[in-house]
Structure 1
């Protein structure tokens, strides 16, 4: 797709140098373009404009009231989908700069990667997927793509945000074969193709996937300890944490409480970030891609070293068993799933209870899924109380 770049008046030309791109990086001037042709902005590159559109979207604002692990009302300092996305963007940009990748594209993908998440975190997603089992299922990555392609209604000429191919490719980090075939039928050679051919996305997309993992592992330790559901004794069974905890105590024996925790996590994050940089540089040196399209034909290139991957997996296993499956979390999420299931059943029988744009659609089941997926935690609870007369305790 041709890219329109208007002449820029001298009064608008900034003195800041353009970002240096490595040969293997995605470049805004070499983008595969947008699904709907439109003139580009005179002072912003294509990926920067994508990032800006995401930040101004309604779906992005709703992330502040969507669960990461703990429900929004359980504490003011626990992470939400919004703060998680910001942390992923920060980690992603830091690593991208060191590797010569496009920072704006990394930030756009990071800020948009959870736009399709349901209220109540993975529990809400699992409940909605079960409700949609006979109607195509529900995948939050596909839903994030639906948000930016279809559901955001902001522009007169098209639905969605009309993001670049490269941003959309990164947002769809996982996809079932069935959904990939569905996408390929509607957009031949588009974002579904790589899942059918077994190729890779851009390095920027690969980086966001890993930055997501690094971010939630670190902040779930913080939130888990703050909540009291995790103990230091449990966390220190993980060598990655124990090593840095010991080094902090050695360097700062007076530290206790939050300062000790924060410095431990800071050092743990730093080691992981530098490990990704070293491991990725080694992979790039081995495979020597000279263009983003050559990256797509290589095996995954952004990743941890083998040792760090093993340590990260140990941390993930600890969080899975000690935090995500903690009886208190499981009880809360069980109630959340009940809320989603009952909302789905009511809207399916009474579509008029939804907002007019959704009630008027003829694909009722998918409209209900879109409507529920777009809810914040507190709106879902208010709707459930309005429609059932029940105040659930969470």
Structure 2
């Protein structure tokens, strides 16, 4: 079902008034600019690679665990559900959601941390900034320009976080562009704010599911988390047969479903109240206001408590830490090998590194190559270059 653009609220991003693309293009006859952005993202090489990039569990550990691709789809579903109630642009929300992790390294946050450490002397590595690099420069699909030539609004939403030093570089390269809000300490559009929160909601829910499926956390442990336990208890009270051992998977799904629903309704209610309080009349009013897409105070506190539980019991589980330690070694070894022998990379990246006038530019070519890898490709390359098999 297509959203009625005429029904958008005054605080929503209207594709008819987009701030445009870096390379001007004529409008499409049947699609808005934000719909075109979404379609370009879905057809990109970087989007396809997300299916083999990890969330918490490395790609070889099981077929049913979330990947960056399934995570992005879940974020898009949650964000679109909320966007319609808030009368903001669903197509823009979907485009941002699908693109927000395009710059993530193999091996999840472990890979990102390792690559950032490798790049410490060359400007560092930020996965949000890398996602912008993917859509602005690294995708090679069109004869007229590098990148996907997305609209300002989609690019702004993709750049969720940005260090001030990098924001100043972006602002110098593109005055008044996507780096400006970090310099001025302003907010992005409501659509971008919504994707940020939907990202966190999706993370918590699917990491509970994957954590229990893996056996690293249990329903009994989750009883310590009020946000989850009240939905488990209500589901079991309504359906007593879910207490049976054979029905534990259904109980988990039902508890997560109820938790997600309540969080969606909470965001809609809390954000509607914030909009009523601030009464923005334009997207620019939104940028100059405090963050408006939010949980209620109670839901925010309980969500943070759940995040702390997952950090302590899942992300820091000895089995996860042991595997991610090996994954980080893979990234470090690949970076050192390619920096010393750039010809071992694919031709385009090798040429960039070999022709770079400065060490930082050569290192950036190496980082771009590694960041684009899937888990299994990185593991295979590491074995090819070092003779060691650390993963898989």
Q: TM-score if structure 2 supplies the norm length?
A: 0.96
Over 3 Å counting, the alpha-carbon distance change for 1:359 and 1:218 in structure 2 is: same
Pair 1:165-2:156 in alignment: no
| Cα distance between partner residues in 1 of 2:301 and 2:274 | 18
Runs of 4+ in 1 over 3 A off after TM superposition: 14-19
2:306 to 315, 323, 338: 315
Superposition deviation, residue 233 in structure 1: 1.8
1:78 to 52, 57, 65: 65
| Cα distance between partner residues in 2 of 1:152 and 1:268 | 37
SS in 2 for 1:343: helix
Superposition deviation, residue 393 in structure 1: 3.9
Over 3 Å counting, the alpha-carbon distance change for 1:19 and 1:236 in structure 2 is: farther
1:371 to 356, 369, 372: 369
SS in 1 for 2:31: coil
Extract unaligned runs of 5+ from structure 1.
1-13
| Cα distance between partner residues in 1 of 2:228 and 2:274 | 26
| Cα distance between partner residues in 2 of 1:21 and 1:139 | 33
| Cα distance between partner residues in 2 of 1:210 and 1:196 | 22
| Cα distance between partner residues in 1 of 2:222 and 2:16 | 46
Cross-structure match for 2:112: 125
Superposition deviation, residue 113 in structure 1: 0.3
Alignment RMSD (CA, Å): 1.2
Superposition deviation, residue 291 in structure 1: 0.7
Cross-structure match for 2:249: 258
Over 3 Å counting, the alpha-carbon distance change for 1:18 and 1:194 in structure 2 is: closer
Superposition deviation, residue 20 in structure 1: 2.1
Higher helix share: 2
| Cα distance between partner residues in 2 of 1:239 and 1:260 | 16
Cross-structure match for 2:379: 381
5 Å-filtered alignment, 1:217-236, equals 217-236=204-223
SS in 1 for 2:7: coil
Superposition deviation, residue 133 in structure 1: 0.3
Superposition deviation, residue 17 in structure 1: 5.1
| Cα distance between partner residues in 2 of 1:40 and 1:359 | 37
Cross-structure match for 1:179: 166
1:360 to 336, 344, 351: 351
| Cα distance between partner residues in 2 of 1:15 and 1:130 | 44
Cross-structure match for 2:46: 59
* Count of residue pairs the alignment pairs up: 381
SS in 2 for 1:283: helix
5 Å-filtered alignment, 1:1-394, equals 18=5, 20-255=7-242, 256-361=247-352, 362=356, 363-393=361-391
Cα deviations by residue, 1:52-98 (Å, 9 ceiling, x for unpaired) = 00000000000000010001111111000000000000000000011
Superposition deviation, residue 234 in structure 1: 1.4
Q: TM-score if structure 1 supplies the norm length?
A: 0.95
Over 3 Å counting, the alpha-carbon distance change for 1:16 and 1:377 in structure 2 is: closer
Superposition deviation, residue 18 in structure 1: 4.3
Contact 2:52/2:376 (<8 A) preserved:
yes
| Cα distance between partner residues in 2 of 1:54 and 1:239 | 38
Over 3 Å counting, the alpha-carbon distance change for 1:125 and 1:245 in structure 2 is: same
